[in-house]
Amino acid sequence: MLTENQFKGIFETIKPNKEHKDKLLHDMIVKIESETVDKRIPASWRHVRSAMLAAAVMICLLTTTAFAASYMGLDMKFLNFLNPANDEQELYLENGAQLVNKKAVNENGIIEVKQIIGDSNLIYVLLDFTAPEGTVLDAKRYRFETHLSFDHMSSNSSSTGYTLLDDENPSDNKISLMMSYLTKNRTIAGSPVTLMLSNLEAADVYPDIFEKVNPGSWKIKFNLDYKDMSTTYQIDQGISLYNYEATLSSISISPISVTIKVDSAHTKEISEAASRSSREIGLNEYADHYPITIHYKDGTSETTAVFKGMSSGDLITNTITIVKPFTPIINDKEIKAVEFFDKVIPMD
């Protein structure tokens, strides 16, 4: 059972947008009307007054707290993908999530952007795709040619990936995908964007060769109104990476990712040495050339043995950005320290 303070902390993690408010108010009206009809009770002034009071309280909650996202809940496919450790972490995720529910339709299929969760350097976008009738989507992996255009940014270094979610009927024409978008830019939350998808491609588990299986292009505009769940710690400590001097400038931590920023006059040499150290260790799996170890307060730890996410070396600013996603998600409130090469950084 959550304490009052825990509820307050969770409720303060989101600012509901217009879509949240509209959906919740609509759902309330439908519920009130349904109960009135089902119980065959005349809508006396007492009932009307109660309904109005409930609506007023709900609207107050919507405008001042994080109640909206909690009420609407997180899509079950999203929960299964993130796999939160407990009810408290699940509620925290729900209050940071963004409901989108926008679609693009043409003769080649229907794309629907359903929900988004994110932090300062990573967003997860839950997508549903329905191909034309008669098409069977039963491959092991899928992806789209993807471009996420930020209306207020001229350029943005990024990496995009797709995960096929559990499919109850693999012989039909429908799939659900989790699109991951990783970027070194920390100001993506709140940005208006245009998502452009084209040419659905499919592949087997191995090798990493995709082939186009469904043509078409889709464009959807929306705002990134999710709650940034990350906390950034300024470190500014010397560190040695592949025998080159550098400065570990910052670490950002959220339940879904850890982002490390490194400054060095040897950015090119470090990036090249990291690439040389990478090796294939499994089917489409490569050893992590920027491994980190997370130490938890209970004495346990985990190390990133397989590389996931992105690393980007900027030779103009001499900065290396490393974004590491975690699924199942991590309990960021229970991290005692982060170990990166020769440094162990306490997280207070």
How much is the average pLDDT of 60-76? 55
Structural tokens at position 242: 């592949």
Task: Please write the tens of the pLDDT for every residue from 177-205.
Answer: 999 999 988 778 999 999 999 999 999 99
Neighbouring CB atoms inside 10 A of 202's CB total 18
pLDDT-derived band at 151, boundaries 50, 70, 90: confident
CB-CB contact of 156 with 113 (8 Å): no
CA distance 199 to 36: 48
In this prediction, residue 12 carries a pLDDT of 47
Q: Over pLDDT 90: what percentage of the chain?
A: 68
Going by their DSSP bridges, the two strands 122-130 and 244-253 should be labelled as unpaired
Task: Please write the tens of the pLDDT for every residue from 3-62.
Answer: 545 544 544 444 455 555 555 555 555 555 555 544 454 545 555 555 555 555 555 444
Task: Please write the tens of the pLDDT for every residue from 262-311.
Answer: 999 999 999 999 999 989 998 889 999 999 999 999 999 999 999 999 99
In this prediction, residue 155 carries a pLDDT of 60
Neighbouring CB atoms inside 10 A of 110's CB total 16
CA distance 68 to 18: 10
108 or 36, higher pLDDT: 108
Side chain identity at 218, as an amino acid letter? W
Average pLDDT, the chain: 85
User: Which residues, listed in sequence order, are joined to residue 117 by a DSSP beta bridge?
Assistant: 124
In this prediction, residue 160 carries a pLDDT of 95
How much is the average pLDDT of 121-130? 97
In this prediction, residue 154 carries a pLDDT of 61
pLDDT-derived band at 66, boundaries 50, 70, 90: very low
232 or 26, higher pLDDT: 232
CA distance 69 to 16: 7
Smallest CA-to-CA distance from 66 within 210, 208, 229, 182 is with 229
Structural tokens at position 294: 């997370």
Neighbouring CB atoms inside 10 A of 269's CB total 15
> Poorest-confidence range of 86-100, 146-160, 272-286?
146-160
72 or 170, higher pLDDT: 170
User: Which residues, listed in sequence order, are joined to residue 57 by a DSSP beta bridge?
Assistant: none
Q: How far is CA 39 from CA 36, 155, 202, in A?
A: 6, 58, 51
User: pTM for the complete prediction?
Assistant: 0.80
DSSP, collapsed to helix, strand or coil, labels residue 233 as strand
User: Which residues, listed in sequence order, are joined to residue 195 by a DSSP beta bridge?
Assistant: 148, 220
DSSP, collapsed to helix, strand or coil, labels residue 230 as coil
Neighbouring CB atoms inside 10 A of 48's CB total 12
CA distance 220 to 74: 21
Structural tokens at position 64: 């001042």
CA distance 97 to 90: 11
1 or 138, higher pLDDT: 138
* Residue whose token pair is 């994110």: 118
DSSP, collapsed to helix, strand or coil, labels residue 333 as helix
In this prediction, residue 84 carries a pLDDT of 93
Task: Please write the tens of the pLDDT for every residue from 302-344.
Answer: 999 999 999 999 999 999 999 999 999 999 989 999 999 999 9
* Residue whose token pair is 């130490």: 295
| 281 Cβ contact list (under 8 Å, min separation 6) | 287, 305, 306
Task: Please write the tens of the pLDDT for every residue from 213-227.
Answer: 999 999 999 999 999
Radius of gyration of the chain (CA): 23
CA distance 49 to 252: 48
In this prediction, residue 135 carries a pLDDT of 96
Alpha helices by DSSP H, listed for the chain, are 4-11, 18-38, 45-64, 67-72, 76-82, 87-96, 267-277
